[in-house]
Amino acid sequence: MYAASATSSRYPAPLPAIQRFLMNVPEWIGRILGGGLSSRGIGLQWAILLGLSILFFLLLHATRLPAALLLGPMAAAIVVAAAGGSIRLPMRPFIIAQGVIGCLIALSIRPAALAEMLHDWPLFLVVIGSVLLASNALGWLLTRWQVLPGTTAIWGSSPGAASAMTLMAEAFGADIRLVAFMQYLRVVFVAIVASAVSSIWVAAPVAPVPEIVWFPAISWLGLAQTLILIALGSSLAVRLRIPAGPLLVPLVVGVVLQNTGMMEIVLPPWLLAASYAFVGWNIGSRFTRPILVHAARALPRVVASILTLIAICGGIAAILVWVADVDPLTAYLATSPGGADSVAIIAASSDVDVAFVMAMQTSRFIVVLLTGPAIARFIAKRTGV
């Protein structure tokens, strides 16, 4: 299906180096492992998967990439799958992991952000609407040009909460592997560009990579309440067959219970790491050679769309500076397309209005969360996919 895509003839040989690298990964892995993993035991495959996950996480964490906990295991699973691995992950941990991510998102939706949005709602409406219009227009173009199949490009272009958009996309019929490819490629680009823009305004020495405290002191009552919410919410969602329910039910219920003081959401780093690993492994293990080839062929246009969206958001930030008298760095970080966690880290270490930045990022995520499925269906009908 993917190898015979309409895009396959649009990129003349020789392909750029990064495309050739992606397309030859399975063959190289097979040579290194002496014919691949198809004839190796499941125990050895799991050992390789765990070892590569830790290695890739450490490498990505050293580069300060906020999504390293998910990207490391996903990259490891892609390598194992491309080498002929036969690991089949159980669905129950994947469902629970989605509930953990839902609670993590709920933890970031605070009354302060909502109050900031309501106070300046016309400004927020215009800025968020402009970013969504630009991202959906680019998704529509990629869909119309058949760069990616079905509604994959639409979900992949959604500006915010990469993990949530990736998980929701599968529930609404998009290819979770290629959506993850688009979403996390944008996370990397946004993090790099945002860091570069920040360094122009903030001439500060480079801080060491923060150390993760895996087992901090926590509220055990809060953890117990959170685990009950995750278990009951995800189970109810599966039973009621709610699209993307294992993510959305704990998210919505968590926001209500947390902000009414009825519970405290507690997510220790070890729980987040395990959850991200299961999500990354689940997505990565589905990659095949045809998918890698398709991603490689789509890479130039996907990168072009990401850079275009970043540039458009930069233009929106410039207008925000002129119209609303917001300082340039605050405006840029507030309008940055996605990667809210990386934006939060940069904003916290810069002289910006952190409350405004996070209110804009959080508000846009809420809007994307509510409108994403309807927009995907609307564009799909107009493009005939």
Q: What is the pLDDT of residues 53-71, one digit of tens each?
A: 999 999 988 887 767 888 8
Residue predicted with more confidence, 19 or 275:
275
Segment 218-240 mean pLDDT: 93
- Helix (H), strand (E), coil (C) string for 243-298: CCHHHHHHHHHHHHHHHCCCCCCCCCHHHHHHHHHHHHHHHHCCCCHHHHHHHHHH
Give the separation between CA 73 and CA 54, rounded to whole angstroms.
7
Domain assignment present for 347: yes
Q: Do 76 and 136 belong together in one domain?
A: no
Contacts of 342 by beta carbon, 8 Å cutoff, 6+ apart: 65, 66, 67, 187, 190, 191, 194, 195
Query: Are the C-beta atoms of 71 and 184 separated by less than 8 Å?
Result: yes
Q: Do 343 and 283 belong together in one domain?
A: yes
Out of 58, 88, 118, a domain closes at 88
Q: Which of 6-10, 244-248, 319-323 has the lowest mean pLDDT?
A: 6-10
- What is residue 337's predicted lDDT score, i.e. its pLDDT? 87
**Res 20 pLDDT > 70:** no
Q: How many domains in the chain?
A: 2
**Res 237 pLDDT > 50:** yes
| Average pLDDT of the chain to the nearest whole number | 82
Q: Do 49 and 171 belong together in one domain?
A: no
Domain assignment present for 246: no
Q: Do 63 and 116 belong together in one domain?
A: no
Domain assignment present for 167: yes
**Res 228 pLDDT > 50:** yes
Give the separation between CA 357 and CA 370, rounded to whole angstroms.
20
- What is residue 28's predicted lDDT score, i.e. its pLDDT? 63
- What is residue 30's predicted lDDT score, i.e. its pLDDT? 59
Out of 35, 53, 88, a domain closes at 88
Q: Do 50 and 151 belong together in one domain?
A: no
- What is residue 362's predicted lDDT score, i.e. its pLDDT? 82
Share of the chain above pLDDT 90, in %: 30
Domain assignment present for 98: no
Confidence class for position 14, pLDDT limits 50, 70, 90: very low
Domain assignment present for 104: no
Q: Do 318 and 193 belong together in one domain?
A: yes
Q: Do 24 and 77 belong together in one domain?
A: yes
The structure tokens 């509220």 sit at 219
Q: Which of 33-37, 223-227, 358-362 has the lowest mean pLDDT?
A: 33-37
Confidence class for position 6, pLDDT limits 50, 70, 90: very low
Segment 88-109 mean pLDDT: 88
CA proximity to 19, closest of 154, 181, 192, 163: 181
Segment 251-258 mean pLDDT: 92
Q: Do 26 and 172 belong together in one domain?
A: no
pLDDT one-digit tens code per residue, 259-278: 899 999 999 999 999 999 99
- What is residue 203's predicted lDDT score, i.e. its pLDDT? 52
Q: Do 163 and 283 belong together in one domain?
A: yes
In this structure, the number of other CB atoms found within 10 A of the CB of residue 385 comes to 18
Segment 197-211 mean pLDDT: 62
The structure tokens 């278990």 sit at 231
pLDDT one-digit tens code per residue, 134-146: 999 999 999 888 8
Query: Of the spans 155-159, 245-249, 262-266, which averages the highest pLDDT?
Result: 262-266
Q: Do 199 and 308 belong together in one domain?
A: yes
- What is residue 134's predicted lDDT score, i.e. its pLDDT? 94
Specify the 3-state DSSP secondary structure of 206: coil
Domain assignment present for 197: yes
Query: Are the C-beta atoms of 353 and 132 separated by less than 8 Å?
Result: no
Confidence class for position 202, pLDDT limits 50, 70, 90: low
Q: Do 117 and 50 belong together in one domain?
A: no
Token pair for residue 184? 């996390």
Share of the chain above pLDDT 70, in %: 82
Domain assignment present for 46: yes
Contacts of 152 by beta carbon, 8 Å cutoff, 6+ apart: 143, 169, 174, 175, 178, 179, 182
- Which domain covers residue 79, as residue numbers? 18-88
pLDDT one-digit tens code per residue, 298-318: 889 999 999 999 999 999 999
Domain assignment present for 212: no
Confidence class for position 15, pLDDT limits 50, 70, 90: very low
Segment 2-17 mean pLDDT: 42
Q: Do 56 and 114 belong together in one domain?
A: no
